[in-house]
Each structure stands twice: as C-alpha cells, then as structure tokens.
Structure 1
Amino acid sequence: MQFTPLDAGLHLKEQFDELFSRRDTLEQQRTQITKLQNDLKAKDSDVIGLSAQIKQLSDRTDVQALMKENKNLIELNLELRQKMNDERQQVFIRKPWNTSLGKAMEMPDLKLLEKKAWILLKSFMFINKSMNVINLVQLNW
C-alpha cells in the first residue's frame, strides 16, 4: 500500500488538530489551576482572619472568666471583712467578769483569734493580688 501526498497531508492535519486540541485542554486546565490557586489564597487569608477572631473570642472568654472570678473574690472579700468585724465585736463586747454571777467569763482564745486574723490577712492579700491581676488584664484587653 502506497501513501499519496494527500494521505500524508490528511495525516499531518489530524496530528496538528490533536496537538491543538491538547494544547487548548492544557490551557483550560492551567486557567482553572490559576483560578483555584487564587481562590485558595483568598480562603487562606479568610482562615487566618477567622483564627484571629477565634483567638479574640478565646481572650474575651478568658477575660469574662476572670471578671466572674473577680466578682466572686469581691464577694468573698466582703464576707471575710464581715466575719472579721463580727470577731472584733465579739472580742470587745465580752466583759472580763460576769458581775451578776461573780464568776469569770470565758475569755477569748487569743491564739485562735491570731490564727483567724492571720488567715483573714492572707485571704485579703490573695484577693488583692487577684484583683490587681484581673484589673491589669482588663486594661490590656
């Protein structure tokens, strides 16, 4: 079987058509890849923005928890002050002698009062430090 120049020309035309078709397909795929890369970059920046927002929400939650703790510490502080005032009043109200019975009244245990006062003082110092930390956090927030 012999090939004529017409057969060779048709064969070359088919080869070129196939090459151009492949080139067009590759060009379309390259365009799609470029578009997807741009979309990916946009989504990446969105993710970074969302991560920052999540961190801010986390920080706000931490601050809200600290504010709640601050409120609880303030209430505890007031309660401890009230207890301390009650203890002081009990110490000052008692008289050393019960004149109606002629017997000595029970004197307050000074060591116990010192221990209670020491515990209250430590509690106040802890509450004060905690409130300072919370106030600093609120200022920075």
Structure 2
Amino acid sequence: MIPLPPAPIDVNIHTGPVEWWQTVAGLAPLAALAAAVIAAWIAWKSLRQKTASDNRAEWWQAIPDKRSTMTEPMRTPAHHGERNGATDRIDRGAAARDRGVQIAAAQLRLVTDRRLGKETPDWVRQLAAEKPRRDVS
C-alpha cells in the first residue's frame, strides 16, 4: 500500500496586544544578569574592605620578625657563639626602645582610663611612672 500525503493542518495565529506578564517574563533573564552583576560588585567591595581591615589590624605581627632580623648580627659557622660589643649595644638599644614603648603605652592608658572614668590597675600606674632609658651604649 502506498502512503498518502498527510492532510493539511489549520494553524490560527492570534495577533493581539502583548500581555504585561509576557513582557516581564521576556525580561527575566536580563533581571537575573543584573542581579548577578550587582551581587558580584558587592562581594568585590566587601572583599577589598576586609583585606584592608585585616592589613590594618595585623600590621603589628610583622614588626617583631623584622625587628629581630635587624637586631641579630649576621653569623657564619665560624663565628657561631661569639658576641661582640656592637651586637650587645644593638640588643640593649632594642630592649630600651621596647621598654620605652611599654612606658608610653601605659601613660596613654592612664589618660584614656581617666577620660573614660575607669580604674587603672596599679601595675600600669607603676609602669607609667618610670622614665624611659636613653642610653644604648
């Protein structure tokens, strides 16, 4: 048996005004893209702010490492265990600067506690009363 061609199908196209929800549905991918761009921008800004904040908060951790490399002499295996007068002066100078920083911090705490109306511990008062050493010889 020979197949017959299919019968034609009637298609009715209604051309009318577009409904509002059809327009909104057509713009949904664009809205999703805009939301993703805004979220990425906010994430980038908050990451930059967090990085800057971490750098400000953690600056002091690098100082002891740098200070110890500046105050320790360069040693070779032949000089291991020897100390000279220059090295001792450098070490005493670093200790005097450290103590001076502690005294200054205690004095600042006294002023801050006084302005805030808080009681300052006795050991802070004793430290603030000390005079920083100036000799590094």
TM-score, length basis structure 1:
0.34
Normalized per residue, the structure richer in helix is 1
Q: Which has the higher contact order (CA 8 A, sep 6+)?
A: 1
TM-score, length basis structure 2:
0.35
